[in-house]
Amino acid sequence: MGRVTNNVGRTNGSPRGVASEELRRHNLATVLEHLHLTGPTTRSQLTVITGLNRSTIADLIGELADLGLVTEGPGAVVSGPGRPSPVVQVRFEGAVVIAVEISVDSMAVATIGIGGHVFNQIRIARARGHFDPDVTVRDIAEMARPLLDALPPHHRLVGVGAAIVGIVRRRDGFVHLAPNLGWRDLPLGELLAEELKLGVPVLVANDSDLGALGEHRRGGLGSINHMIYISAEVGIGCGVIVDGKPLLGSAGYAGEVGHTFVNPDGLECRCGATGCWETEAGENALMRRVHSLGSVSGLAAVDAVAELAADQDPETLKAISEAGRWLGIGIANLINVFNPEMIVLGGLYHRLFDYLEESVVAGAARSIEASRNMVEIRQSAVGQNVTLVGASELALADLIDNPARVAARGTRTGVRSTDV
């Protein structure tokens, strides 16, 4: 049988003993998580993967089926002699979440079921600027309404996950600072919960942290347990996966690399300090090096740069490669610190990856040899919606971790608002 924990160390606080019920919870979670991440699987494959007994798997699947979280169908694929094993798969509508993304250039809302099934999605572009939080929250609720109405009649809604460009306290979704939106000390979690009135938990997290989560879980990263996701919208965001789990830090502020110090000769950053990484490698750093852009700014400027790069404009390529070099230098630092297996670039970096790659790799080469030799730098495989996908994973995590408790906890069987 496998081991739950490993290595030196423990989480401080009361060390808790565990009883059989915890064992059951763990095994239910293991099975459900596998189905959620890997997709349809036969019962016999599950016995091999989990190492559990046939009878136990049968029992676990029975319970998950009773909870409405999985279904069993006849084994589709034929596979040699022996009694065919039924294929188990998640029921998308058995656990649905609302994923929200509040970015610099757009806002998005999606309804996503367990297994990663996207029922529906709305994304609206908006000009950059400072926004009234209440209006934003109301907009989100309005975007969510039709999506909820369009869900299948007997779905079960289990949570809301929101990604936001800012520094967020995990415990309660309190936004400490979101400079790109003009927000500070805003209880976003509470506001969303009040406005949505859905009776389910609302979790809020930093967008890059969720990008990392989305990429790690749905980016086809096989057995990668240590990775770093880096993206740029205006600043530089970063999410880290350590040992298969998101790095949160004490309050959830971990991964705030945009304002790490890399250049004493650098410009003054909007944060007030000098020499921050994002003043060298962020979006603005790139733009200001492309003089031919003139006064265009914001998303239009990004589009223009992408076009110029596609046209092989020398100045633009040089600007990209200069920003890429600094990006690489910062990445080298992260490689030294985390010894990851993979660095994934998203956002603007994803868009410009082809022009960036060479200089980034060159810059990253200054990391220590041992770690450098085992890391791969690549662009996001999930693409534009990683963050939204990550938000859904965040909202689904509680359910997967304890299917019985969360599924039973009611969160009523999703009666459509038109039925009321």
Q: Which residues bind DNA (CB under 7 A)?
A: 1, 17-21, 23-24, 27, 42-44, 47, 51-60, 74, 78, 80-86
Please list the residues that pair with 229 across neighbouring strands.
Answer: 239, 344
Contacts of the segment 246-252: beta carbons below 8 A, 24+ positions apart: 246/209, 246/212, 246/213, 248/170, 248/209, 251/169, 251/170, 251/171, 252/168, 252/169, 252/170, 252/171, 252/205, 252/206, 252/209
**For DNA, which is the closer residue by CB, 83 or 197?**
83
**Separation between Cα atoms, residue 413 and residue 95, nearest integer Å:** 10
Neighbours of 71 (CB within 10 A): 16
Residues 1-20, interacting with its own copies (CB under 8 A) = 1-20
For the CB of residue 220, give the shortest distance to its own copies in the complex, in Å.
12
Choosing among DNA, its own copies, none, which partner's interface includes residue 55 (Cβ < 5 to 8 Å by kind)?
A: DNA
Report in angstroms how near the CB of residue 82 gets to its own copies at its nearest. Answer: 22
In whole angstroms, the minimum distance from the beta carbon of 386 to DNA comes to 34
Q: Which of 171, 249, 300, 415 binds its own copies (CB under 8 A)?
A: 249
Cα–Cα distance, 126 to 49 (Å, whole number): 46
Q: Would you tell me how many other CB atoms lie within 10 Å of the CB of residue 390?
A: 32
Residues in the chain: 420
Give the footprint of its own copies on residues 250-309 (CB under 8 A).
250-257, 259-265, 271, 273
Between 57 and 301, name the residue whose CB sits nearer to DNA.
Answer: 57
The CB-of-209 to its own copies minimum distance in angstroms stands at 10
Query: Applying CB under 8 A, does 369 fall inside the site for its own copies?
Result: yes
Measured from the CB atom, the residue of 151 and 395 that comes closer to its own copies is 395
Q: What is the rounded distance in angstroms from the CA atom of residue 299 to the CA atom of residue 306?
A: 11
- The smaller minimum CB distance to DNA, of residues 84 and 275, is found at 84
Q: How many CB atoms lie within 10 A of CB 52?
A: 19
Helices (H), 155-282: 188-196, 207-218, 277-281
Residues between 162 and 181 with contacts to its own copies, criterion CB under 8 A: 167, 169, 176-177
41 binds, among DNA, its own copies, none (CB under 5 to 8 A by kind): none
Region 306-345 residues binding its own copies, contact defined as CB under 8 A: 329-330, 332-334, 336-341
